[in-house]
Amino acid sequence: MNIALSVSCGDVNGVGLRCFAGACQTHTFNASIELAIDESTLVAAMSAYRLPGSFRNGTWTIESNVISIVPIDTPSSVVPGTVQDDAARCAIASLESAISRTVNGTSDALVTLPINKYALNKVGWTYPGQTEMVAAAVEETPLMVLCTRDVRVALATVHVALSEVARALSIESIVERIAALKHHLVVDLGLIDPQIAVLSVDPHAGEHGVIGTIDQELVKPAIDLAVANGYHADGPHAADGFFAFGAYTRYDGIVAMYHDQGLIPLKLLAKGAGVNCTAGLRIVRTSPDHGTAYDLAAHGNVDPASTAEAIEMAIIIARNRRMLLA
């Protein structure tokens, strides 16, 4: 069962291409992989970063991985660790190409390498992140799930200021996130009867209203409604003790209320190998769980583990979905 992956190049001045090349150097991926990038830009990046492999006739060969280049008409110079307008435009064009090829069925899954949101917004990009751009392409509501092979944390709110989290939540939205997470666990990962934990918004789940009332007024009613609809969910759990004392190991998935509540413990547990899965969409999309890391781009030690896991996870999800439809 051959799986085809489209990879967007991200910010060519960050660590993305180094991590991608490192992943291909250390792993043999059971998939056909294509990378959307201007060919002259790839050649410049290979020189600037001393990337492994050889490039000829539109193909980048790294060990046993043969990556087909899908050329885009947006070249960029490569200046490691620098915010550049042409690098931002190249990242946008690459993302547009890779999304399009996944949406139209040319590819089975999309893997997006890291971008610098400031750089892209500087040239007119209007999305909070790549997740929102991917979701807009299919006009569906995404669920951001950060995961390792054993721990999966979904976010009830994503790129929202902490001061806006309470206003962004509702009973309906929390139930929708629980439902979307269950769908991801069952359809994409093949789990049976998944158990889902829901974290609280306030410290200590509000201490029965002493600290705050949002967990009593929104989160607990949402959990009760989800349970009434057949979902195996419980909570709200205070996040500190939940992760500190190992309660997370008893669940297949976790719904965190805001970005850092879920991502900080997940990244600590992942030890550099976490993956961002965008669930809830008709296309498969994953990405490494780190950014451009400009300070490491040129000479720092970079760990390709997250990129390798993002590629492997995209293959797993695409294969599971195809088997389900067979």
Burial 36-66 (b: 16+ CB within 10 A, else e): bbbeebbebbbebbebbbebeeeebebeebe
* Structural domain range at position 227: 142-275
Burial of 165 (0-12, 13-18, 19+ CB in 10 A): middle
Residue 324: predicted pLDDT: 78
Boundary-marking domain end, from 239, 256, 275: 275
Mark whether 192 and 229 lie in a shared domain.
yes
What digits encode the pLDDT tens for the residues 52-86?
999 999 999 999 999 999 999 999 999 999 999 99
Q: Is residue 296's pLDDT more than 70?
A: yes
Mark whether 312 and 256 lie in a shared domain.
no
Task: Report the pLDDT averaged over residues 39-63.
Answer: 96
Mark whether 58 and 173 lie in a shared domain.
no
**β-strand 32-36 against 54-56: which pairing, if any?**
unpaired
The chain-wide mean pLDDT, for the chain, equals: 95
Mark whether 182 and 242 lie in a shared domain.
yes
Under 8 Å between Cβ of 32 and 2: yes
Boundary-marking domain end, from 259, 275, 291: 275
Mark whether 136 and 3 lie in a shared domain.
yes
Residue 207: predicted pLDDT: 77
Task: Report the pLDDT averaged over residues 30-36.
Answer: 97
Q: Is residue 297's pLDDT more than 70?
A: yes
Mark whether 136 and 285 lie in a shared domain.
yes
Helix (H) or strand (E) holding 8: strand 4-8
Residue 119: predicted pLDDT: 96
Burial of 221 (0-12, 13-18, 19+ CB in 10 A): middle
Write down the pTM of the prediction.
0.92
Q: Is residue 95's pLDDT more than 80?
A: yes
Mark whether 1 and 88 lie in a shared domain.
yes
Mark whether 135 and 147 lie in a shared domain.
no
| Strand extents, DSSP E, 257-309 | 275-279, 284-288
Residue 35: predicted pLDDT: 98
How many domains, the chain? 2
Helix (H) or strand (E) holding 306: helix 305-325
Mark whether 25 and 131 lie in a shared domain.
yes
With a CB cutoff of 8 Å and minimum separation 6, the contacts of 150 are 249
Residue recorded with tokens 């610098």: 116
| Residues 161, 169: Cα–Cα separation, whole Å | 13
What digits encode the pLDDT tens for the residues 138-152?
999 999 999 998 999
What digits encode the pLDDT tens for the residues 275-295?
999 999 999 999 999 999 999
**Token output for 229:** 């609809």
Mark whether 39 and 122 lie in a shared domain.
yes
Mark whether 1 and 135 lie in a shared domain.
yes
**Token output for 28:** 């043999």
User: Which CATH number belongs to the domain containing residue 200 in this structure?
Assistant: 3.40.718.10
Mark whether 184 and 312 lie in a shared domain.
no
